[in-house]
Structure 1
Amino acid sequence: MMPLLEKHEHMSDLCHRVKVMDDSSRLEEALQSALEDGDLKWVMTRGGWHRWGGVVDGEYAPIASNLRQWAEDVSGGDVDELIYSYRDRGYFVTHLAGKSHYFTLPTGDRPEQFVQIEVEELQEVIARPLIDHDWFPESLEEFLDPLDYPQLEPEPVTPPYYRFRRMIEMDKLLDAPAECDRNLNNLRRFFNDWQHSSAGDADQFCRQWVLLLRDYQDSYGELRIDAKPMTVLHGSLPELPDGEHLSGASLANAIHGYDRLVGYPFAWFFHMLSSKSSNYAVAEAVLRDQMGAYDYLPARDLKVLRSWEERPYSV
């Protein structure tokens, strides 16, 4: 396989040419053919997000593709001048309604050895009138992102289309220096725990999880990537067992039942670590059981759990 980073430009062109269908199968086939070998699969689609688009006239003909740039250019920084000049034009602000499609391709035996491809499905839709005659923003920032502004039905302006977002070799991401980056250090532990638990024998990590990536600048102005694991079952995830009220056989049945629903052993542990409201009570209850008469965890999973008990972390 050619170095994957050299394929970004080709991927971008490919995504632009693929027509959006009801599912992502055609896109998956196109991406697989571009990679030539390996076993690439669609694993998850995350929707319900948007970003600001541009400006269109009353017939939905494009005026500008970037709202902020257009507003800064025509106003010269004077929001009152913008309101006065465009109040009777009948223009609309648009936004880009988005979905993120995630594809993964294993590249080795370790859980972090995979490529993740992220493709956005975007559609420009009407968001709001550019000017409301009863509204007088005090600044350009308030004009760009107003509170309590009348929103319109998101009527389509363009057909949906794909846009290549990024392709990341996850093991290379983890190779970055992380002496002071707790996010990456915890992520390394997450992968390592998967490798050494029964989950690692049951399925490939990249078929059960994706990493949500966010670019940001640190306090020194350096560009960094924040990475958070998200289960591919994010929309239909069962509740973690109630560690505060269950113990013994009932707790054993609950965590094994949870694992069966999710599809691999020790799933409850990894979902606990990635939960926003980390339910550590279930881990504490399992550990109490293991100190008593119960022995319902494989030895390797108990070793991982005890290591977490000594040095708790979350992702």
Structure 2
Amino acid sequence: MTTPARLPDAASLETVLAGLDPAAADADLIPALAAAFPGFDFGIAPIDDDYWRDTRSVLRPDGTRIGELRPWMMAEIAKDGGDIKAVWARLKQTDLQITEWRGSSAFVSAPTGPGAADYIQIALGREIEWRAGPIVNPDYRPWGESELLDPSWPRTDQLPDSSRLAGPVYRLLGRAGGAVIHVRSFLDRCGRIERDKREAQRSEMERRVIHEVGPAGTRETPFLEAVPDWFDHVPREIRFFRDWEDSSTSAQRIFAHWALDIHDHTHKGEREVGFIPRPLKPPKERLLMTPEASVHALMERIEAVDREGGLPFGWFFLMTHGHWVDPDVGLAIAQGLKAQRVRLPDRDARVLLRWADRTYGF
């Protein structure tokens, strides 16, 4: 498979998304992307991660929009000289209402080649505007203006479909540097930035020593002698994809099972780039290590996880995620492999033992 000539870019994607009719957006999204970017086989995976935008409007009961909540409310507060109690008492007697946008994530992916990392990922938000409730909570007096400008109380309510005002609409999520990525290029970026960071510390590392106190006194060992491969560190993001390609999971595409929550930003003057993998089909129950669990019982449980997810060796990647499968489970199975008490397919055993020798997780 060859990469199509034109990779999707943010500006072109925003044009496509803006052209979708909310009444048919769910059905039309993938055909519209395919028409705009020929040669890609797009698929979409929704994520159950409700969020709220900070964009709200003020409505009259007939649906007439008065304006955005924040500037409108600031003017109302000014009318009462900043007296929050007076504003609340006055507004709760009105029939004004507020709207809010509720959304959830959706990841669109398309392969660009045969390798595990040969695909593009587009992070979208699927958002609907709702009539959320009265302009203020009539049963609770706010104690500060922030409770009027950024009300959170309506968010506890499940809204009826009759309260829907607009949407669904799709938009690129404002993830730092990660709304649209070509995954292999992103992994190259992760590796390059990590190498540059470590190379910039070469002089410091060459001077650093490790002090060890023993019966014969204090011994000083050069840091790079104790950790000779410090400059060869491979980021966990690259290892995640390498382990996928080297194991039984390689028969299936990563994007059919995982979405990548990308970040690429500068924090305290240092470039931070990477991702947190998010399972598209998490197991119903967590697999936790217990003191009484035998390695044979653990093998039965990881096989059940794989059957549930429809992915051989899928439990391993849930383990690196750090929530769904306890890393101690992987360490126990690795010990069982070394003791020849249990078996895994050879390629999976190599990946697990490599991980156990130098663990990583998200």
- Counterpart contact for 2:287–2:325, Cα < 8 Å: no
Of residues 58, 62, 68, the one that matches 1:59 is 62
Alignment of 1:160-239 (within 5 A): 160-165=167-172, 166-174=179-187, 175-176=189-190, 177-178=193-194, 185-200=235-250, 202-213=251-262, 218-220=267-269, 227-234=275-282, 236-239=283-286
Structure 1, unmatched stretches of 5+, are none
Quote the offset at 1:152 in angstroms.
6.0
Give TM-score, length-normalised by structure 1: 0.80
User: 1:289 touches 1:295 (CA, 8 Å); kept in 2?
Assistant: yes
**CA deviation after TM superposition for structure 1 residue 98, in Å:** 1.3
The aligned residue for residue 70 of structure 2 is 68
- Evaluate the alpha carbon distance shift between residue 68 and residue 273 of structure 1 in structure 2; reply closer, same or farther with a 3 A threshold: farther
Secondary structure at the aligned position of 1:27 is classed as helix
Instruction: Give the AA of the match of 2:182.
Output: E
1:279 Cα deviation (Å)? 0.6
Contact residue 126 and residue 152 of structure 1 kept, 8 A: no
Structure 2 residue identity aligned to 1:83: V
**2:301 corresponds to:** 254
Q: How has the CA–CA distance of structure 1 residues 153 and 249 changed in structure 2, closer, same or farther, with 3 Å as cutoff?
A: closer
**Cα 1:289–1:71, aligned 2, differ >3 Å: closer, same or farther?**
same
Secondary structure of the corresponding residue to residue 294 of structure 1: coil
Q: 1:36, CA displacement in angstroms? A: 0.2
Larger Rg: 2
Partner of 1:28: 30
Secondary structure (helix, strand or coil) at the match of 2:54 reads strand
1:199, distance to aligned residue in structure 2 (A): 1.4
> Given that residues 243 and 285 in structure 1 are in contact (C-alpha distance below 8 angstroms), is that contact kept between their aligned partners in structure 2?
no
Q: Which moved more, 1:80-89 or 1:140-149?
A: 80-89
So what's the TM-score if we normalise by structure 2?
0.71
Deviation at 1:289, TM superposition (A): 1.3
Shift of residue 87 of structure 1? 5.4
Aligned pair partner of 1:156 in 150, 159, 163: 163
- The C-alpha deviation readout for 1:81-107, integer Å capped at 9, x for no partner, is 792775554322221121322221112
Query: What's the counterpart of residue 115 of structure 2?
Result: 110
Distance between the aligned counterparts of 2:259 and 2:91, measured in 1?
44
- C-alpha separation between the residues in 1 aligned to 2:71 and 2:186? 33
Give the gaps of 5 or more residues in structure 2: 173-178, 199-233
Per the alignment, do residues 223 and 48 of structure 1 end up closer, same or farther by CA in structure 2, a change over 3 Å counting? Answer: same
Identical residues among aligned pairs (%): 22
Aligned-pair Cα RMSD in Å: 3.5
* Residues in 2 aligned to 1:51 and 1:32: alpha-carbon distance in whole angstroms: 28
Cα drift, residue 294 of structure 1: 2.7
Matching residue of 2:212? none
Q: Contact conserved, 1:42 with 1:104, CA < 8 A, in 2?
A: yes
The residue that corresponds to 1:92 in the other structure is: 97
Matched, 1:263 2:294: no
Q: Is the 8 A contact 1:215 1:223 kept in 2?
A: yes
How far apart are the structure 2 equivalents of 1:51 and 1:12? 18
